[in-house]
Structure 1
Amino acid sequence: MAGTQSVDRTTALVALVVRAEQPLTYSDLVAATGLPRSTVSRLLGALEVGGLLERDGDGAYRGGRLFADYAARFDRVEALVRVAHTHLEDLASETGETVNLAVARGSHVVHVDQVDARFVIGSVSWVDLEVPNHCSALGKVMLAWGVVRPPTGRLERRTPFTVATHAALQEDLAETLERGYALTRGELEEGLDGIAVPVRGTDGSVVAALGVSGPTFRIGDRRPAIAESLRTHAAAVTADLARRARRA
């Protein structure tokens, strides 16, 4: 019960500061909560250490760096989607297949934008759908370029073609780096192939993966040509991000 009370008090302090129109002083917070001064001081100290609150030049409290980091991360994703979407549309028009953009969120690779194939077969929405990284071309890009850590423990085997051992996965990722793009051949779903390339930010780091997926019978021998189109559009997204950054 005491632990719950402490959490409630801490949450109330954060909410007061974040919702305030201007930074709040220590005295403001004591008066607003009715808590003992020693309790408010202890909780504020813990919140400062955790990055949830910080003090301005006058010593008043405002939202801390964690809020700024969180907002900046999602602002970056939204900006990336806005910049990249036209290129996803162009790729879908060129290939006729489903095109996806994915980013890393922690250890997961999450689809954040999609343009559907012009065919009924192969048109599945992957946005916000999490799949094992080692089964996905987009996930393999993030693994190969070190954006997310390799999986631990037993690898989930979705189909008979899934890369099922860590040794085989490392070999696959080494080949991915060598050729510059990732491949899956029926590893997530039988009959579904994927090709993906890294998208770099203005500092040269990999910020996303851009991929095309479709039925094996349509992808087939088109893999090298699709990979080349993906590389061209990934480079164009990077150039557009740089132009946006210069304007900003």
Structure 2
Amino acid sequence: MSQSLARALQLLGALEAGPRSLDDLAGIAEVHKTTVLRLLRTLEADRFVVHDEQHRYRLGSRVFELANAALAQRDVRQAARPHLERLNADTGQTVHLATREGSEVVYVDKIDAPQGVRMYSRIGLRAPIHCTAVGKVLAADLPTRQRDELLAGLDYLRFTPNTITTPAALADELDRVTADDWAQDHEEHEAFINCVGVPVRDGSGRVVAALSVSVPTLSLDHDGVLALLPRVRAAGSAVSSELGWAAAGA
């Protein structure tokens, strides 16, 4: 790496903490102010830095453009995979990663439980929104108008006695999901299967996927599945962090 490039990167790194003066930056780089000023002018010409009336420098719009492009190029499945593997090993249960396509969800990744009953789900399979934990998580994040349109157009097929079958009931359920930031499928899609799901967010905070653990009642009862929620939340947060999301207070 050239010395000039290394110093320019050092200056950008220093500005991560906030605006700094020319003197501050010269001290950090341990070079004369004229050298730093020359580098800053080059960076400013390409919008990597800007300076204010007090000649304090801060990161420019080009840095944010590149950051957003990098996050957009990061595949959610690739980012999630190691965390899914860890959650699968930690819980011993089946884990899913899903995204929404229209009025359904699509499983984009799955790791089966190492032992016990195998789920019928598979990568690429579509599933209904109204009776799956991942579906509820994804629908709950939609803007109000879009959510209302989605709920009005669903078929609400009944799969089990616990399936939600009306737009009003699903709207109430999604309000709870929004408030709690997680969802469950309490034997709603398949009898004797319970699931808990959490959101995966990108750098903007938008929910781009949902992560879940699914467990047959033969392996664990409903309360036992709910007890897994902290570990599922931790996995969802870890994937979200990979995608650039920083929760409030983090």
Residue 178 of structure 1: how far off its partner (Å): 2.0
- Aligned partners of 1:159 and 1:176: how far apart in 2? 21
Match of 1:144 in 2: 140
Say which SS state the counterpart of residue 232 (structure 1) adopts: helix
Match of 2:236 in 1: 234
Identity between Structure 1 and Structure 2 (%): 36
Residue 97 of structure 1: how far off its partner (Å): 0.9
- Aligned partners of 1:209 and 1:129: how far apart in 2? 15
Match of 1:211 in 2: 212
Where do residues 27-176 of structure 1 align in structure 2 (5 Å cutoff)?
A: 79-146=75-142, 149-152=150-153, 154-176=155-177
Runs of 5+ in structure 1 lacking a partner? 1-74, 244-248
Relative distance call for 1:77 and 1:215 in structure 2 (3 A) is: farther
Residue 104 of structure 1: how far off its partner (Å): 1.7
Match of 2:14 in 1: none
- Aligned partners of 2:134 and 2:95: how far apart in 1? 11
Give TM-score, length-normalised by structure 1: 0.62
Say which SS state the counterpart of residue 209 (structure 2) adopts: strand
**Which shifted more, 114-123 or 137-146?**
114-123
Q: In 2, are the aligned partners of 1:196 and 1:211 still within 8 Å (CA)?
A: yes
Question: What is the total number of aligned residue pairs between the two structures?
Answer: 169
Runs of 5+ in structure 2 lacking a partner? 1-70, 246-250
Relative distance call for 1:242 and 1:188 in structure 2 (3 A) is: same
CA RMSD, Structure 1 to Structure 2 (Å): 2.2
Match of 1:194 in 2: 195
Greater fraction helix: 1
Say which SS state the counterpart of residue 243 (structure 2) adopts: helix
**Which shifted more, 134-143 or 164-173?**
164-173
Match of 1:246 in 2: none
- Aligned partners of 1:181 and 1:202: how far apart in 2? 19
- Aligned partners of 1:189 and 1:234: how far apart in 2? 23
Give TM-score, length-normalised by structure 2: 0.62
Quick one: which amino acid aligns to residue 223 of structure 1?
V
Structure 1 residue runs of 4 or more that deviate by more than 4 Å after TM superposition: 75-78
Q: In 2, are the aligned partners of 1:122 and 1:214 still within 8 Å (CA)?
A: no
Residue 151 of structure 1: how far off its partner (Å): 4.6
Q: In 1, are the aligned partners of 2:103 and 2:154 still within 8 Å (CA)?
A: no
CA offsets, 1:20-59, max 9 Å, x none? xxxxxxxxxxxxxxxxxxxxxxxxxxxxxxxxxxxxxxxx
Quick one: which amino acid aligns to residue 160 of structure 1?
P
Quick one: which amino acid aligns to residue 197 of structure 2?
A
- Aligned partners of 2:160 and 2:240: how far apart in 1? 34
